[in-house]
A and B are shown apart, each in its own frame.
Chain A
């Protein structure tokens, strides 16, 4: 157990639908990152939050959005789903203190299948 919890582990939904993926970071980590992993695109950075504030945006589609709540858990919302959105979605957490940054701790991911 890495300490980063992602739910659900698997999700099957139809095109056009909306889903919410949830992530609880490791205790003490204020920063949360979302990544999408697909076979042809590798590991793509979507978005980062730090203590409730958006800090960086990557290749995130307008149909996708995220937020981080006061208890530091984060949710990734995917709407108007398309077949191409089928992928593994990972959450990772870290500290941002420069002297303490040791990379990320990853959750086990949510496998999204759009049918």
Chain B
């Protein structure tokens, strides 16, 4: 099965500084990777995805992620952090499963999440 790991439970960064939220993956075959953000008392919102192509992926709210095949990483980055970026961030990988009937399906397997706090 595919998996992702987020090694940091919490990341603190000063407003205006660059931020990085780390994610490493373990997959067989080509990885399909995603980042989601969860604000307090809200559902998860899609930020960006990597399927193929350029290793630097640009997403919503000024975020970007760098896919590194040799290091099996997909770190989320932003050049200048805002207080409003404070939230819970989840990395995810697409997995494929087969039901007893033989029917296939996609699921996303999520990391445990990293709480980002941007300090004014």
Q: Are B103 and A2 in contact (CB under 8 A)?
A: no
Question: Is residue A96 contacting chain B, with contact meaning CB distance below 8 A?
Answer: yes
Tell me if B106 and A96 are in contact (CB < 8 A). yes
Bitwise, B73-92 to A at CB < 8 A (1) or not (0) is 00000000000000000101
A56 near B99: Cβ-Cβ < 8 Å: yes
Taking A56-B99, A106-B44 as contacts, is the C-beta distance between A31 and B49 under 8 angstroms? no
Total number of B residues with any Cβ neighbor in A under 8 Å:
26
Q: Is the CB of B108 within 8 A of A55?
A: no
Total A residues in contact with B, Cβ cutoff 8 Å: 28
B45 neighbours in A (Cβ, 8 Å): 2, 106
Q: Is the CB of B42 within 8 A of A108?
A: yes
Task: Report whether over half of chain A's contact residues are helix, strand or loop; otherwise say mixed.
Answer: strand
Is B120 an interface residue, CB under 8 A from the partner?
A: no
Q: Does A24 contact B (CB under 8 A)?
A: no
When C-beta atoms are compared, the residue in chain B nearest to A54 turns out to be B99
- Are the C-beta atoms of B46 and A103 separated by less than 8 Å? yes
CB-CB < 8 A to A25: which residues of B?
Answer: none
CA distance A54 to B99 in the complex (A): 8
Is A42's CB within 8 Å of the partner chain B?
yes
Contact pick for A2, options B43, B101, B110, CB 8 Å: B43
Chain B residues lying within 8 Å of A33, measured Cβ to Cβ, are 107
Q: Is B10 an interface residue (CB 8 A)?
A: no
A111 to B105, CA, bound (A): 27
For the complex, is B67 an interface residue (Cβ under 8 Å from A)? Answer: no
Closest residue to A107 on the B side, CB-wise? B43
B22 within 8 A of A: no
